[in-house]
Amino acid sequence: MASRMVLSLEWVDGEDGFLRLLDQTLLPREVRYLECRDAAVVWEAIHQLRVRGAPAIGIAAAYGLYLGVRKLAGCNDAAKFVREVDGVRDYLAGSRPTAVNLFWALDRMQKLAHRLAASTSVPAIASALLAEAQAIHDEDRRLCRAIGRHGAGLLQDGDGVLTHCNAGGLATSEYGTALAAIYAAVEAGKRVHVYADETRPLLQGARLTAWELQANGVPVTLLCDNMAAQVLREGRVQAVIVGADRIAANGDTANKIGTYGLAILAAYHGVPFYVAAPRTTFDLSLADGTKIPIEQRDPREVTHGFGRPTSPDGVDVYNPAFDVTPAKLIRGIIFEGGVISPVCTETIARALGGSETEVGFSDGAARRESRSSRDG
């Protein structure tokens, strides 16, 4: 299934290699690619959501850092090169504040440059940075596949699944996180019907999730955000699965604005609410979600959401791009090592500390728990 997916981003090799990004602001009407040859174009693409979704932002930023410093790859002053790395790192880190994958990827690149600087030539450091960005990209493919395998185990034949925003192939290297669970379930022969919230104000659910699922032949029904309660009440949904932009040490999870409300609705209706995210989305430096920075965006996204004014001139607008869902509303976090359930500081620390085989969090336990609460 992934082979038919339109790639959100791709490194194009060559003398003057570049990052090719799918401009997601134009979907679903137009499939157009953007060629990024310097850090400023990558910064703008992240800031404007041409590339978006936490893992894809991290991958783009890693390539962006390499693109930003490669002009100095021929110099023989390692200290100067590393200062440039630091500057480009800080510059790209200012493109968006919430998705921790951005900082994780940039810091990984920066650390590598610092480590190599003492003993390696500048051209070799530059090559290593490109290889590191490609490694981050490749790793994300594997993480998404593993998330899909674990997430699919939570779904049964005939399930309806509600999702919010886009946590699919477009938001990652290719397979997605929340949508990976659905793709893997479908690949395993289960019939799954997806309900996609349109996700105001920028309509990632309508423009991206509905488009991506349609393109991959997965049945999808589009909902306005305010219809979720009714759809849950009607019993059409057996699981809610969303992605994440940053997960604090205790499991509190930042994701697209509207996710928190959906988690409350799911709890009220006894429907299990899952978060799907790789370990690169966890921020263990934050004890809980209160300190997660929430991006505030341009009021025009709300007042001119459909290409024309939809409100009176001068009206006051509040436009946070994300909200934080408390851990206690999350039945399980699906990551590449399994399903963390219950969600709390101890289980997360244990899960992230172990390798895949060591993690003692079985999909079966989370599934049994969710089924019994649903049936009961």
Q: Is 8 in the site for ligand MRU (CB under 6 A)?
A: no
By CB under 6 A, name the one of 27, 99, 286, 292 that touches ligand MRU. Answer: 99
Alpha carbon distance 286, 246 (integer Å): 10
Q: How far is the CB of 6 from ligand MRU (least distance, A)?
A: 15
Tokens of 299: 């009021």
Q: Is 321 in the site for ligand MRU (CB under 6 A)?
A: yes
Amino acid (1-letter code) at residue 107: D
Q: Beta partners for 193?
A: 160
Q: Is 52 in the site for ligand MRU (CB under 6 A)?
A: yes
Q: Is 275 in the site for ligand MRU (CB under 6 A)?
A: no
Q: Which is nearer to ligand MRU, 243 or 332 (CB)?
A: 243
Instruction: Kindly identify the residues of this chain, within the stretch 70-89, that bind ligand MRU according to CB under 6 A.
Output: none
Q: Which is nearer to ligand MRU, 46 or 129 (CB)?
A: 46
Show which residues are catalytic: 245
The residue with its CB nearest to ligand MRU is 243
Helix (H, G, I), strand (E, B) or coil at 237: coil
By CB under 6 A, name the one of 8, 95, 110, 204 that touches ligand MRU. Answer: 204
Strands 273-276 and 332-335: parallel
Closest CA to 275 of 233, 223, 331: 331
Strands 253-256 and 322-325: antiparallel
Residue-wise DSSP of 256-324: ETTHHHHHHHHHHTT--EEEE--GGGEETTSSSGGG----B--THHHHTTTSS--S-TT-----BSEEE
Q: Which listed range, 13-21, 49-57, 183-191, 261-269, lies at the site for ligand MRU (CB under 6 A)? A: 49-57
Q: Which is nearer to ligand MRU, 51 or 366 (CB)?
A: 51
User: Could you give the angle at which helices 122-152 and 100-117 cross, rounded to 10 degrees?
Assistant: 150
Q: Which is nearer to ligand MRU, 99 or 333 (CB)?
A: 99
Tokens of 228: 């979720």
By CB under 6 A, name the one of 225, 245, 252, 283 that touches ligand MRU. Answer: 245
Say if residues 23 and 68 touch (Cβ distance below 8 Å). Answer: no
x/- track of binding to ligand MRU for residues 225-244 (CB under 6 A): ------------------xx
Q: What is the CA radius of gyration of the chain?
A: 20
Sheet with 246-248, edge to edge strand ranges:
282-283, 246-248, 253-256, 322-325
Residue with tokens 């488009």: 211
Q: Is 167 in the site for ligand MRU (CB under 6 A)?
A: yes
Q: Is 171 in the site for ligand MRU (CB under 6 A)?
A: yes
By CB under 6 A, name the one of 34, 45, 54, 65 that touches ligand MRU. Answer: 54
**Burial zone of 251 (CB within 10 Å; 0-12 exposed, 13-18 middle, 19+ buried):** buried
- Count of residues near ligand MRU by CB under 6 A: 18
Q: How far is the CB of 204 from ligand MRU (least distance, A)?
A: 5
Q: Is 177 in the site for ligand MRU (CB under 6 A)?
A: yes
Q: Is 55 in the site for ligand MRU (CB under 6 A)?
A: yes
Q: Which is nearer to ligand MRU, 53 or 153 (CB)?
A: 53
By CB under 6 A, name the one of 60, 165, 327, 339 that touches ligand MRU. Answer: 165
What residues line the site for ligand MRU (CB under 6 A)?
A: 49, 52-55, 99, 165, 167, 171-172, 177, 204, 243-245, 255-256, 321
